[in-house]
Structure 1
Amino acid sequence: MIKEKSFYKTFFILTFSLALQNLLTYGVNLADNLMLGAYSENALNGASLCNQVQFLLQMLVVGAGEGAVVLGSQYWGKDQLEPIPHIIGCALRFGVGMAAALFAAVLFFPAQILGLLTNDAAVIAEGVKYFRIICFTYIIFTATNILVASLRSIGIVKIGYIISASTLIINICLNSLLIYGKLGFPELGIQGAALATLVSRCVELLIVILYLKFREQRLKLTLRKLVHIDTSFLKDYQKVSLPVLLNQAQWGIAQMVQTGILGHLGAAAIAANSIATIIYQVLSVVAYGAASASSIWVGRTIGEGRESFLRPLVKTLQILFIAIGVLSGLAIYFARNPILTFYNISPEAHRLALQFIVVMAVTTVGTSYQMACDNGIIRGGGDTSFSMKMNLFSMWLIIVPLSWLAAFVWKFPPVVVFFLLKWDQLYKAVPVAIRLHSWKWVKRVTRPDPT
């Protein structure tokens, strides 16, 4: 293992910076979840189902952004910053195009999309109210997050949590005013939560624009640079990013299918899934921060040509991932009862939420190891297709068919169905470990140096 204290100091500063950004980002969702959960179970369920489309968008944005991170971090390691604005421009084209397609689908077919996820008319009615406002955040959200991810590829992470902190504060304040109708504001319920999020997303983008204009000095990004790009980099970007995009897209769609399976088991299962998922997201942020940090470390190491440093680096990272997973699982387990006291939900939803959270506490140990090794080390090393192939096989040939049979043919209890939807986070550790120790994932994705 690596023994230099400077490595651990740098790694954990980067990890906790990214974890803080994730925590603040998920804190926005938690604020909506808690406030709508205290307002009405139907409002909570409607927003939860709508957020499955937001999750799909988020997966697509991660895919578009990760292509820029993988390429950008290797160019950064080579001390070549000139190609990075062109790569960011490519990522924005892909991301904004996908966001526009989702915006149109949600704007024109909100009830039809929700009908795929549940057959509860009251939940669909609440969801349509939320959809008609929240869809206007999609393009704004995409542009902001791709720009922030691109800056992360050259080690700039502070702006991410500054943005997320401002969004959280604005969102909580506006939620309080608009959901419940305080201080003379109208009581808008679920529509108030959507409006609060829309305002927050606009502020996010404004902060990024101001930061790029007045503070960022390495890339000196301008609108002109992002629009007028060297289109020859599109091929480089597509080669790295398309496998990630396809993987993230199928993952987002699969999560919607999983939510649809639970959604047809009743309103209590929808509420329990929503609560368990958001608690998991908030309390597992360090694992995802470690994955992102390791991707940057590995990409930069390969870009610098220090392949001999990879073996101790990978061994060290694996041990850190497992330790983080165990601590995250314990945090999720012990937080379940205190957090559920904030929700105004039925006894059945409360019982299922407790069970679902225990499942999450166990599976997060596997997630912390295999997800960080896969999306962090392997993807950061330039192999962006392994994850796509593994998840396509796992999700569509094992998880979805088995869970559907458990729910609708074998009539298993909801907690068993929920476990079958999540147990891939445990067994995928095996193929990930095999791929990791094959060392076939070490690939240079940058262009050769000019001679």
Structure 2
Amino acid sequence: MNGKGAWMTMALLVREKSFYKSFISLTLIIALQNVITIGVNLSDNLILGGYSEIALSAASLANQIQFIATFLMIGCSQSVVILASRLWGARQLTIIRKVIGVGMAFSLAIGVVTCVTVIGFSTELLSLLTTDELVIQEGAKFLSIVSFSFVCFAITTVLLASLRSMEIVKIGLFVSLCTLVINVSLNYLLVYGQFGLPAMGISGSATATLASRIIECIIVIVYVLKNNQSLGLTIRNFLKLDTSILKQYTQIAFPILISSLSWAGAMAVQSGILGHMGTSAIAANSVATTIFQFVTVITYASASSTAVIMGKTVGEGHLAKVKAYSRTLQILYLGIGLVTAIVLFVTKDHVLFMYAISDEAKTLALTFMTILSITVIGTSYEMPALSGILQSGGDTKFVMYNDFIFMWLLILPASLLAAFVFNYSPVIIFILLKSDQILKCFVALVKVNRYKWIKVMADQP
């Protein structure tokens, strides 16, 4: 199908009220959950930004390493959603429990390995991102504490993903709200040493993160046990791995995990490129990225809700609906992107007063957010189209190849040359680093509207 034909076909929107109700309700609840999650990161940035620019920069780089671990575990949970939502559509609850067990095993393995790796090599890992010794020392303090939270997050993210695949999403919102309250409160108390507590600086922020992760994990486990009559989860589900499910899960999960590792690693390299351009560039990138994450919650939530809706529809065997839904979703993504771009551009001048950073960092942050207000339109289309529609349809390998080619063969080489050979400014580097968000749109448009990504599992009824 050519480009003109694709757009003409996309004009035929779905008229089912149930589809829009499901998409909007799932997206809004997941978005609220994301708002709260980003609010935790924003509170960390604000409190550490008010404490010192060194602490803010150190936490920002440490979070890039933490991001790799969490992104891999999210990849495990995303694989659970793709497989379990199909089984939910086919109402195969027994097999869903086996999928959860396999996903949990993968996620816990990643959590434990990354925890041990980060504890043993925190200084060496941070040295890859910056040469500033003060930033490395502070970042190592942060990682030495926060790394223990990986195991808790491994459990929480898979359980919440499993519930989401069965369209149970309110518990995720509640958990995120608890995390926000606990994290913000402890950050304030421990970073500055309020009410007689020691002023721990960046170590206090890491302690707050660890405590909130432990508590949210306990809440989710208690919820699952309390509602076990309907969910039917037992310890046996996590001790005995079904080989047939393991094979299906691996086929879906492996490309997603490789893609997640590729993407998270690329984000770390991007931060490393900017990190070698000074603390102002690091701080500006941290501020701009945090605000960007905050205003794009609907975009990322739309991808998550798409995975549930499309996976369930494929599981029900309604392949004609899958095509119709994909056309409508693409229009919705573009609308979300335009609204998000306007919000980011309008609000960018009104958020920097919260940060105690240098004038140079503030100027860079404003410029970075202006660039993001343009590229976010592309992000809002290509990201949910590729990671939502394509992956839930069963074509997880294409996203893996696409991410690798764009990031590691095009964007990063060009940015490295621009930064270290041609010595371009941080602004030019930032534009290069974000250019893939526009370029991927053309690939997504063609791929999604050819419908070759719809794959029914061989063992699916």
Fold in common (TM above 0.5): yes
Residues 243 and 384 in structure 1, CA contact (< 8 A), matched pair in contact too: yes
What does residue range 158-197 of structure 1 map to in structure 2 within 5 Å? 158-197=170-209
What does residue range 23-422 of structure 1 map to in structure 2 within 5 Å? 23-422=35-434
CA distance in 2 between partners of 1:186 and 1:126 (Å) = 17
CA distance in 2 between partners of 1:58 and 1:246 (Å) = 14
Residues 212 and 220 in structure 1, CA contact (< 8 A), matched pair in contact too: no
CA distance in 2 between partners of 1:240 and 1:4 (Å) = 30
Q: Secondary structure at the match of 1:439?
A: coil
Residue identity opposite 1:219 in structure 2? L
Residues 105 and 238 in structure 2, CA contact (< 8 A), matched pair in contact too: no
Residue identity opposite 2:365 in structure 1? A
Say whether 1:5 aligns with 2:17: yes
Cα deviations by residue, 1:402-427 (Å, 9 ceiling, x for unpaired): 00111111111101101100110111
CA distance in 2 between partners of 1:440 and 1:160 (Å) = 33
CA distance in 1 between partners of 2:138 and 2:187 (Å) = 16
Decide which of 419, 437, 447 is 1:425's aligned counterpart: 437
CA distance in 2 between partners of 1:444 and 1:350 (Å) = 50
Residue identity opposite 1:291 in structure 2? A
Aligned to 1:441: 453
CA distance in 2 between partners of 1:253 and 1:9 (Å) = 36
CA distance in 2 between partners of 1:12 and 1:32 (Å) = 30
Cα deviations by residue, 1:164-204 (Å, 9 ceiling, x for unpaired): 10000000111110011111111111011000111100001
Q: Secondary structure at the match of 2:199?
A: coil
Residues 75 and 446 in structure 1, CA contact (< 8 A), matched pair in contact too: no
CA distance in 2 between partners of 1:448 and 1:363 (Å) = 39
Residue identity opposite 1:143 in structure 2? I
Residues 111 and 151 in structure 2, CA contact (< 8 A), matched pair in contact too: yes
Residues 103 and 136 in structure 1, CA contact (< 8 A), matched pair in contact too: yes
- The alpha-carbon deviation at position 216 of structure 1 amounts to 4.7
CA distance in 1 between partners of 2:196 and 2:460 (Å) = 63
RMSD: 1.1
Cα deviations by residue, 1:61-110 (Å, 9 ceiling, x for unpaired): 12111111111011111111111111111111111111212111111111
Residues 18 and 289 in structure 1, CA contact (< 8 A), matched pair in contact too: yes
Residues 74 and 446 in structure 1, CA contact (< 8 A), matched pair in contact too: no
Residue identity opposite 2:164 in structure 1? R
- The alpha-carbon deviation at position 218 of structure 1 amounts to 3.2
Residues 337 and 354 in structure 1, CA contact (< 8 A), matched pair in contact too: yes
Residues 323 and 451 in structure 2, CA contact (< 8 A), matched pair in contact too: no
Residues 70 and 150 in structure 2, CA contact (< 8 A), matched pair in contact too: no
Residue identity opposite 2:160 in structure 1? V
Q: Which moved more, 1:306-315 or 1:355-364?
A: 306-315
Q: Which moved more, 1:297-306 or 1:263-272?
A: 297-306
CA distance in 2 between partners of 1:15 and 1:369 (Å) = 15
Residues 71 and 446 in structure 1, CA contact (< 8 A), matched pair in contact too: no
Cα deviations by residue, 1:328-381 (Å, 9 ceiling, x for unpaired): 111112221221100000111111111111111111110110001001111111
CA distance in 1 between partners of 2:23 and 2:458 (Å) = 24
Say whether 1:15 aligns with 2:35: no
Q: Secondary structure at the match of 2:147?
A: helix
CA distance in 1 between partners of 2:428 and 2:248 (Å) = 44
CA distance in 2 between partners of 1:269 and 1:448 (Å) = 50
Residues 74 and 445 in structure 1, CA contact (< 8 A), matched pair in contact too: no
CA distance in 2 between partners of 1:34 and 1:104 (Å) = 29
Q: Secondary structure at the match of 1:428?
A: helix
Q: How many residues align?
A: 449
User: Can you give the 5+ residue segments of structure 2 that lack an aligned partner in the other structure?
Assistant: 1-12
CA distance in 1 between partners of 2:18 and 2:456 (Å) = 26
CA distance in 2 between partners of 1:89 and 1:30 (Å) = 33
- The alpha-carbon deviation at position 225 of structure 1 amounts to 2.1
CA distance in 2 between partners of 1:213 and 1:316 (Å) = 38
Cα deviations by residue, 1:132-155 (Å, 9 ceiling, x for unpaired): 101111111111111111111111
CA distance in 2 between partners of 1:127 and 1:175 (Å) = 16
CA distance in 2 between partners of 1:47 and 1:316 (Å) = 40
